[in-house]
Chains A and B, each alone.
Chain A
């Protein structure tokens, strides 16, 4: 399928379920027979800091857990400014982005030290740097599925609903069922499916 690795960046804020999302995607890829490396930056994950996961799929060669700068093929943004921040480091003109436009305000913004830019400006800035941007109101869809916290699963669903990765939808569903076997498997599957449907319905900006 591919010569080099397929590089996916998942980015957000501590507490948004970055690690769960990367783990689900990577486990499914591994089940589908790919070689997978995942690098996580979550030293501050529960403390409101920016978090980022690097997921790398390859057919034979094993790659290291960090994607070189400018080499992300796909970017899954759980939070708009964190998505833009990651794009400036790891994006390129061909990168495809799926982003939840719902902001999580840094305390620097809450305390008035800095300002949170208008969301349209952030999305516009991301668009200037990459090939396509799908904006998905993932938190709203997650509420529909039962809990806003599942926006991470909605976005994994979005990724699955595109042609961007070779990982099978059915495998992802299996992994989601296993992962949440004791904790709302149905709601999480619903969140996933809502993501799949939504991405197929909307057009990128």
Chain B
């Protein structure tokens, strides 16, 4: 029995938010799960795949988010309970399907979980996916705690099944990657047969049918709203007639509670905590707007509640509500380092808003302390920018690209993409990449750069992608390049895993989410099928890698170079080696205009011994790839096999 599948109702367990969501799905008897890895949502599917055998469920890592949602949709319309999990930007990828699946309806419970990333800890956008729920007209739940993450996921299946509409759960990094104590409920696995019969139709239709289904969707939303008015996920704390209320959802609930407590405002400020945020439980909200003269909205990222509650307040004005003064993002009350509507919430942001509005003084740390801390921080603490791990093949690949472009001498353009190798924009990736957008945009934008010669832009174009990203989003763009004659060299950094998100398998891994072997979909075969020149090379064979890249850049056409070397974190090398610096051979500061290896190569395992004035290998970090030994002009770095 796995820990997440333990059948002991009432047991209290410390769970990560994502594990709690997975547990909620198990309690609801989920049959079919799909998704594409993306932080902060990745661990939901990982957890479910670990127990798929135990629960006789089906779990797949899909090639991308739209395929994931479509596959789950088919399971749901066949009467099964289906869940799809993805990060916020995944919602963009599956939006096309979402905008018809909402109208087409479902039979079995169909739940979409989106993980937003306020502060963009590991994302290129702070996209607030709650807007998709309103956009698609589907019910939205926002858990505030790990307990709710479990309970809401469980309930979302019932809701979806009853209303016959896909339901959305929005989590955020601070919930998904937090841990909290969760009281388990019973697991109710229900054997179901999938059924899609002769007379079944599943479509959003067109013309009058679409309008009719649209109208039906609106009716479903009204039913959802009626349920939300009574939902146990919404509540109010504080005095019944408080003049000042906070309206909050998600992580904002506990932050608001703590801020009110720290400021000793329990007698003055009421908190309306909402867990069902689209459609809004209007009657419940109205019952609290009735006694409020001032309202502060505390929510992650966009002013979603803020705008929707204001619309409600406008409707209520005729009934004698208000005037109410609203505070939140628009008033600039809830703001982080980069202003309102950016960055993630925390207790301090709520405290700041409350102290400004209520003209209070709260001193968490004295001014002198802060200035002393700031002074010490700025005077001695160096920054720590992200870097590739020791032994990462991307470092070697990007070094090869940098060198080949230098030989070429035409100031080639490198377009980046999403994955660990996004760090190609930073010094650790030798700053070779100059663009970074969304999944697949490396080769997508290279299609444009590679066809601008007629407008005077005559430079070689190198597009980066990873292996998982290649399957996810690069294939149509590669076909486009071949078809329209874009001059570009696509470099696939193939490390045999989806490394960035925790080493999930992909179509080239030879294994699927259930751990079953599955014949590899080889990137080179896809390229050959499309009809483009393709080469495969190990980037650690540096000379060969640079030479081949350089040669490919010298003629026109669409070409692909696959740099293949497995991620050493996912596939540790079997051969144990010890890497060290021969202190007699190392010429120290003199080397390559001051410390060639550490200054230029930037491997965290390759450090400097300030006392000796020579290079040194940090054995706690070094992973033994030996690439530095290849680069050292003095051959002072030695690789030794150890037993």
Residue positions of A touching B, CB distance < 8 A: 13, 15, 23, 26-27, 30, 35-44, 46-50, 62-66, 68-71, 81-82, 84-85, 87-89, 91-93, 104-117, 121-122, 125, 128-129, 139, 148-149
Contact = CB atoms under 8 A, between A and B. Distances in A.
A117 B610 CA distance: 12
A50 B384 contact: yes
Interface in B230-286: 251, 254-255, 257-258, 262
B606 A106 contact: no
A122 B380 contact: yes
A93 B373 CA distance: 11
Given A27-B14, A48-B384, A111 B598 contact: yes
A62 B365 contact: no
A68 B258 contact: yes
B145 interface: yes
A112 B387 contact: no
B235 to A, nearest CB: 14
19 contacts: A37-B180, A39-B178, A42-B177, A44-B121, A47-B388, A48-B387, A48-B604, A62-B145, A64-B347, A65-B251, A66-B347, A104-B604, A105-B607, A106-B382, A107-B604, A108-B382, A108-B427, A112-B599, A128-B376
The 8 A-B residue pairs with the shortest CB-CB distance in the complex, in nearest-first order: A43-B121, A64-B254, A43-B122, A70-B365, A65-B178, A88-B373, A114-B382, A38-B179
Interface string B377-396: 10011111111110000000
A78 B323 CA distance: 53
A48 B384 CA distance: 8
A36 to B, nearest CB: 6
Contact of B178 (A37, A110, A139): A37
Given A48-B604, A139-B620, A38 B180 contact: yes
B173 A43 contact: yes
Contacts of B346: 64, 66, 68
Given A37-B180, A106-B385, A148-B620, 11 more contacts: A38-B14, A39-B177, A44-B122, A48-B384, A64-B255, A71-B364, A89-B373, A93-B369, A108-B383, A110-B607, A148-B619
B212 interface: no
B309 interface: no
A65 B181 CA distance: 12
Contacts of B428: 48, 107
Given A47-B387, A111-B600, A88 B374 contact: yes
Nearest to B39: A43
Given A48-B604, A107-B385, A110-B604, A149 B177 contact: no
B384 A82 contact: yes
B263 to A, nearest CB: 11
B434 interface: no
A36 B179 contact: yes
B608 interface: yes
B423 interface: yes
A89 to B, nearest CB: 8
Contact of B348 (A68, A92, A139): A68
Contacts of B174: 39, 64-66
Interface residues of B, number: 66
Contacts of B13: 30
Contacts of B209: none
Nearest to B13: A30
Contacts of A27: 14
A110 B177 contact: no
B384 A40 contact: no
A48 B608 contact: no
Interface string B593-612: 01100111011101110000
Contact of B384 (A49, A65, A139): A49
Interface string B499-518: 10000000000000000000
Interface of B: 12-14, 39-40, 117, 121-122, 145, 173-175, 177-181, 251, 254-255, 257-258, 262, 346-348, 351, 364-365, 369, 372-374, 376-377, 380-389, 420, 423, 427-428, 499, 569, 594-595, 598-600, 602-604, 606-608, 618-621
Contacts of B145: 62
Contact of B179 (A23, A82, A92): A23
B264 to A, nearest CB: 13
B372 A69 contact: no
Nearest to B376: A125
A46 B501 CA distance: 10
Nearest to A121: B380
B604 A68 contact: no
Nearest to B595: A112
A205 B489 CA distance: 58
Contacts of B117: 43
Nearest to B255: A64
A69 B608 contact: no
Contact of A105 (B255, B383, B386, B604): B604
Contact of B620 (A44, A81, A121, A149): A149
Nearest to A126: B376
Contacts of B377: 84-85, 88
B384 to A, nearest CB: 4
Nearest to B594: A112
Contacts of B595: 112
A128 B346 CA distance: 27
A84 B178 CA distance: 24
A68 B258 CA distance: 9
A77 B386 CA distance: 19
A203 B251 CA distance: 40
Contacts of B254: 37, 62-65
A107 B602 contact: yes
B602 A111 contact: yes
Nearest to A84: B381
Given A26-B179, A46-B389, A70 B619 contact: no
A195 B494 CA distance: 41
A171 B40 CA distance: 30
A44 B364 contact: no
Contacts of A68: 258, 262, 346-348, 351, 364
Contacts of B621: 15, 104
Nearest to A80: B381
Contacts of B389: 15, 46-48
B298 to A, nearest CB: 11
A49 B383 CA distance: 10
B42 to A, nearest CB: 12
Nearest to B503: A46
B177 A87 contact: no
Given A44-B386, A111-B600, A117 B380 contact: yes
Given A36-B180, A69-B365, A117-B380, A49 B374 contact: no
B126 to A, nearest CB: 13
A69 B348 contact: yes
